[in-house]
């Protein structure tokens, strides 16, 4: 561990797990725990739980689990020291990074440098927009698009000069290294091999913030018909287009309060809706929405409305979105604006209330696709057959069989076709190999520990619930009698840990060598337990005794049988040796 133990403990004390998780997952309290939809696997019913007492999270669906640090690592895809630093920054704890692993430190330094460069360049672009005579055209353009000065300020809009070396010169003057400059994606190496040139030229600049308000990258839009109309930063160590959504940093709380998020395509669509008070909006950055986007958004709003300016765009997106949205268990509706309008022009002309009213008419993805098909083919006998043929692939794309059968019934009713006939067609489609597994979201991963003696798990659970019994466990020597080497290993770490009940579970997690072990600890801490603490020592003693007795009995039975077989010198011996071998292998594998 590179960050001192005390620092980690300080961070864990400051970072409340419920606070940390609820930044990205909608949590509801139920008993002692909080529950929400797991951000790490697809699900429709919450099996992701957070225990504020033990300061841990655990998903009963996919097995993910850990403390607030492991949550930040897993959710933001960070390495341990980065996650620790991120939390430390949040809670104003200073962390000395001199002792970091050189490779980790290098990567972390690079990321910090890139955020710093981006922020400086953001200010530089901003300056051009407001102070530079060359920014005049851009100012007029924004004015013409009715973007208010307040929104320009809030989103730090800027302007990239029509020059090849403006940012190149700016970075040089700011003493940014060539490597960092190139890594930022703001400049590109010249084909001649010497020097760099500006990526963004003569464009309105939109800084792209991540959820922590850091400038991750930029989008640039031309002011005329030049191509490409939009250009974004390339993937960098701080900018990942599959994770970042424009405006989410500003929209997140509004998404929380309304339970709805509008998803639009362009920067101007976003800004116009935002300045008209439709602040629960995000924009995709010219890329299709990814499952990662959807999982992130799901943490802020359970319902999503995709806003499009034409049927064609809507259809394409609806088709794509079935796999992402429907299977992520998100209520998704499609809103097609009147012909010739985009969100920007529609709101400018008709106002926010008209937009909200229109949004209420947004149809579910399936209803939308069905209506499009009916419009195309009509409701004659042959038309309905074609509608059915169009719809079958979409239905086949729904993994959850219960949900699929609801949509099948809907379609059968609309078309006046027998439900079983529709179902038959869909089943053929599914069997044709589009879905190797049905109801992916509802399958639980195999639990490798389940085959071992359940009492071993039970005992570890009891220890996690109440470290008071640790002395009892240690003195009994019961861990030596565990069948599962893995549980034994975890048990030993618990026995060696400081038994102070405050943060005991997170401390034990810190001692785990792998994510799998950490997740197992979270699972054990969330399961079992006893209702009243007085009976705990007695309960623990009973479990300990039972584990030892069973192990001894099995061992002596096996030894006796082997002796017997040796005497009779027959194939029984072979069989027994095989069994013994198997058992040893099982122990070795930690099962
Ligand atoms: Zn999960």
Q: Of the residues 199, 232, 265, which one is the last residue of a structural domain? A: 232
Q: Which of 274, 411, 394, 278 is nearest to 325 (CA)?
A: 394
Q: Are residues 354 and 390 in the same domain?
A: no
- Residue 262 and residue 159 share a domain: no
How many structural domains is the chain composed of?
5
The CA 394 to ligand 1 mean position distance, Å, reads: 25
Which of 72-81, 295-304, 447-456 has the lowest average pLDDT? 447-456
Contact 374, 398 (CB under 8 A): no
The Å distance, Cα 521 to ligand 1 centre, comes to 15
Q: What is the residue whose two structure tokens read 């939390």? A: 87
At 453 the pLDDT is 72
Query: Which domain range does residue 159 map to?
Result: 102-232
The CATH number covering residue 200 comes to: 3.90.980.10
| Length of the chain measured in residues | 591
Is the pLDDT at 455 greater than 90? The verdict is no
Residues 556 and 513 in one domain: yes
The CATH number linked to 464 is 1.10.860
Dihedral angle sign, alpha carbons of residues 391, 392, 396, 397 = negative
Distance 53 CA to ligand 1 centre (A): 20
Q: Which residue has the tokens 């360049």?
A: 121
Domain annotation covers residue 46: yes
Same domain (yes/no): 48, 67: yes
Q: Which of 120-124, 230-234, 327-331, 431-435 has the lowest mean pLDDT?
A: 431-435
| 201 and 161 co-located in one domain | yes
Confidence (pLDDT) at 441: 34
Q: Between 96 and 175, whose confidence is greater? A: 175
For ligand 1, the distance from its centroid to the CA atom of residue 502, given in whole angstroms, is: 26
Residues 395, 348, single domain; the answer is no
**pLDDT of 75 over the 60 cut:** yes
374/356 same-domain check? no
Residue 532 lies in a domain: yes
Long-range contacts of residues 381-387, Cβ cutoff 8 Å, at least 24 apart: 384/415, 384/416, 384/417, 387/415
How sure is the predictor about 565, in pLDDT bands with cuts at 50, 70 and 90? Answer: low
Burial of 535 (0-12, 13-18, 19+ CB in 10 A): exposed
37 CA from centroid of ligand 1 (Å): 8
**Per mean pLDDT, which range of 1-5, 373-377, 413-417, 431-435 is the poorest?**
431-435
Check whether 446 has a pLDDT greater than 60: no
Do the domain assignments include residue 243? no
pLDDT at 63 over 90: no
Flag whether pLDDT at 19 surpasses 50. yes
Evaluate if residue 262 carries a pLDDT over 80: yes
- Residue 26 CA to ligand 1 centre (angstroms): 14
φ, ψ for residue 505, nearest 5 deg: -60, -45
Give 39 Cα–ligand 1 centroid separation in angstroms: 7
Same domain, 312 and 193: no
Distance CA 92, CA 215 (A): 20
**Between these two residues, 65 and 310, which has the higher pLDDT value?**
65
Q: How far is the CA of 279 from the centre of ligand 1 (A)?
A: 30
Residue 146 lies in a domain: yes
pLDDT of 340 over the 80 cut: yes
Asked whether the predicted pLDDT for residue 464 surpasses 50, the reply is yes
What is the per-residue pLDDT for 402? 81
- Whether pLDDT at 209 is above 90: yes
Q: What is the pLDDT of residue 410?
A: 92
The reply to whether 508 and 570 lie within a common domain is yes
CA of 283 to the centre of ligand 1 (A): 27
Same domain, 66 and 136: no
- Looking at the chain, the whole-number percentage of residues with pLDDT higher than 70 is 89
Q: pLDDT by residue (tens digit) across 284-293?
A: 877 778 888 8
Of 461 and 503, the structure prediction assigns the larger pLDDT to 461
Say how many Å lie between the CA of residue 444 and the centre of ligand 1. 9
**Which of 503, 502, 504 is closest to 493 using CA atoms?**
504
pLDDT tens column, 514-556: 888 888 888 888 876 666 667 778 888 888 998 888 888 877 7
252 located within any domain: yes
What's the mean per-residue pLDDT of the chain? 85
Residues 257 and 294 in one domain: yes
Q: For residue 448, report the distance from its CA to the centre of ligand 1, in Å.
A: 17
Distance 504 CA to ligand 1 centre (A): 23
Query: Does residue 96 belong to any structural domain of this protein?
Result: no
Last residue of a domain, one of 208, 232, 256: 232
Q: Which is more confidently placed, 586 or 185? A: 185
Element (H, E) at 345: helix 343-360
Percent above pLDDT 90 for the chain: 39
Token code pair at residue 31: 């008993």
Q: Give me the pLDDT at residue 589, please.
A: 45
Domain boundary among 412, 441, 470: 441
Q: How does residue 261 score in pLDDT terms, banded at 50, 70 and 90?
A: very high
Residue 589 vs residue 513, higher pLDDT = 513
CA of 49 to the centre of ligand 1 (A): 9
Task: State yes or no: pLDDT of 433 exceeds 70.
Answer: no
Q: 3 or 478, which is more confident?
A: 478
Q: Are 486 and 504 contained in the same domain?
A: yes
On whether residue 238 sits in a domain, the answer given is: no
- Distance, in Å, from the CA atom of 412 to the CA atom of 574, rounded to the nearest integer, reads 62
- The better pLDDT of the pair 327, 539 is held by 539
pLDDT band of residue 450 (cuts 50, 70, 90) is: very low
- Give, in degrees to the nearest 5, the angle at Cα 222 between 216 and 226: 130
Distance between CA atoms of residues 227 and 126, nearest Å: 23
The enclosing H or E element of 89 equals helix 80-90
């Amino acid at each position: 561990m590179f960050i001192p133990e005390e620092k980690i403990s300080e961070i864990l004390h400051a970072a409340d797990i419920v606070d940390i998780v609820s930044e990205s997952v909608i949590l509801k309290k139920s008993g002692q725990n909080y529950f929400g939809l797991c951000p790490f696997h697809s699900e429709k019913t919450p099996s992701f739980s957070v225990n504020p007492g033990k300061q841990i999270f655990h998903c009963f669906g996919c097995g993910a689990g850990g403390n607030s640090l492991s949550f930040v690592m897993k959710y933001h895809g960070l390495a341990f020291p980065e996650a620790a630093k991120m939390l430390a920054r949040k809670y104003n704890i200073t962390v000395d990074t001199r002792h970091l692993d050189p490779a980790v430190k290098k990567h972390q330094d690079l990321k910090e440098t890139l955020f710093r460069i981006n922020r400086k360049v953001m200010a530089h672009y901003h300056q051009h927009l407001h102070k530079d005579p060359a920014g005049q055209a851009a100012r007029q353009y924004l004015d013409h698009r009715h973007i208010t000065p307040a929104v320009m300020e809030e989103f730090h809009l800027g302007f990239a000069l029509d020059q090849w070396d403006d940012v190149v010169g700016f970075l040089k003057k700011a003493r940014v290294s060539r490597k960092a400059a190139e890594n930022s994606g703001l400049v590109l190496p010249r084909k001649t091999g010497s020097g760099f040139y500006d990526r963004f030229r003569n464009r309105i600049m939109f800084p792209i913030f991540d959820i922590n308000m850091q400038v991750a990258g930029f989008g640039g839009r031309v002011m005329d018909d030049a191509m490409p109309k939009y250009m974004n930063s390339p993937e960098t160590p701080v900018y990942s287009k599959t994770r970042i959504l424009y405006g989410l940093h500003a929209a997140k709380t509004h998404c929380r309060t309304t339970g709805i998020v509008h998803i639009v395509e362009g920067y101007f669509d976003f800004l116009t809706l935002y300045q008209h008070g439709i602040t629960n909006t995000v924009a995709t950055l010219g890329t299709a929405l990814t499952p990662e986007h959807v999982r992130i958004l799901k943490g802020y709003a359970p319902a999503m409305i995709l806003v499009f300016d034409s049927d064609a765009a809507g259809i394409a997106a609806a088709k794509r979105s079935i796999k992402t949205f429907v299977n992520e268990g998100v209520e998704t509706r499609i809103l097609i604006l009147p012909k010739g309008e985009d969100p920007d022009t529609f709101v400018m002309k008709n106002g926010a209330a008209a937009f909200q009213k229109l949004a209420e008419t947004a149809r579910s993805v399936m209803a939308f696709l069905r209506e499009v098909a009916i419009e195309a083919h009509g409701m004659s006998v042959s038309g309905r057959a074609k509608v059915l043929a169009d719809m079958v692939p979409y239905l086949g794309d729904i993994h959850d069989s219960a949900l699929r059968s609801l949509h099948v019934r809907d379609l059968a009713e609309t078309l006046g076709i027998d439900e079983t006939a529709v179902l038959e067609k869909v089943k053929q489609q599914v069997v044709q190999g589009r879905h190797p597994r049905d109801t992916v979201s509802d399958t639980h991963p195999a639990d490798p520990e389940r085959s071992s003696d359940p009492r071993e798990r039970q005992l570890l659970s009891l220890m996690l619930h109440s470290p008071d019994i640790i002395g009892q466990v240690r003195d009994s020597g019961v861990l030596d009698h565990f069948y599962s080497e893995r549980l034994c290993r975890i048990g030993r770490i618990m026995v060696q840990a400081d038994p102070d009940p405050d943060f005991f579970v997170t401390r034990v997690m810190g001692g785990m060598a792998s994510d799998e072990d950490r997740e197992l600890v979270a699972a054990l801490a969330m399961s079992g337990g006893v209702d009243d603490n007085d009976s705990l020592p007695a309960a623990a003693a009973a479990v300990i005794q039972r584990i030892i007795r069973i192990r001894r009995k099995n061992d002596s039975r096996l030894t006796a049988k082997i002796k017997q077989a040796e005497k009779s010198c027959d194939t029984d011996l072979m069989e027994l040796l095989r069994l013994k071998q198997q058992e040893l292998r099982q122990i070795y594998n930690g099962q």
